[in-house]
Structure 1
Amino acid sequence: MSLRSIALLSFCVLLAACSKVNQENYSKLSSGMAKAEVETLLGKPTDCSGALGMSSCTWGDQKSFISVQFAGDKVLMFSGQGLK
């Protein structure tokens, strides 16, 4: 295995280990938080959709994710799955 391949593999492992989608950050979420605060905590969402002042954003993937529902700019409710 070349040095370049080892470096790339190491980077990928470090990136996965540094995920902000974890139990520690999930426990910091609370109803009424501003959307900007959530994005500061979790980073840019993987997916967002919404209409009429309501929106739902997800961080993570199908196995490990945090989903947050917003009313306007404030957290209404949130859930998580597969967090470590």
Structure 2
Amino acid sequence: MSLRSLALLSLCAVLTACSKINQENYSKLKAGMSKAEVEQLIGTPTECAGAFGMSSCTWGDEKSFISVQYAADKVLMYSGQGLK
């Protein structure tokens, strides 16, 4: 294995280990938190959509994700899948 391949593999492992999309951060989510508090905890969402004061944001991918639903920028409910 070349040095370049080893460095790339190491970087990928570090980035995966440092993901904020994990069970520890998921357990810190609470109903009523502001959108800013959630983003401070788990970062910028992968995608968001909404209308009429309601929105839904998702962090992660189809295998491992956290989804948060907001009403007036306050957490209404949340769910997660594949978290470690």
| TM-score (norm: length of structure 1) | 0.95
Counterpart in the other structure of 1:32: 32
Q: 1:2: how far off? A: 2.0
How far apart in 1 are the matches of 2:48 and 2:71?
Answer: 13
Count, aligned residues: 84
How far apart in 1 are the matches of 2:81 and 2:20?
Answer: 14
Q: 1:16: how far off? A: 0.7
2:10 is the counterpart of 1:4: no
Q: SS of 1:33's equivalent? A: coil
Gaps of 5+ in 1: none
CA-based RMSD of the aligned residues comes to 0.7
- Residue identity in the other structure for 1:50: G
How far apart in 2 are the matches of 1:61 and 1:18?
Answer: 15
How far apart in 2 are the matches of 1:10 and 1:45?
Answer: 25
Gaps of 5+ in 2: none
Return structure 1 stretches of 4+ with deviation > 3 angstroms: none
Q: SS of 1:70's equivalent? A: strand
| TM-score (norm: length of structure 2) | 0.95
Q: Percent identity?
A: 77
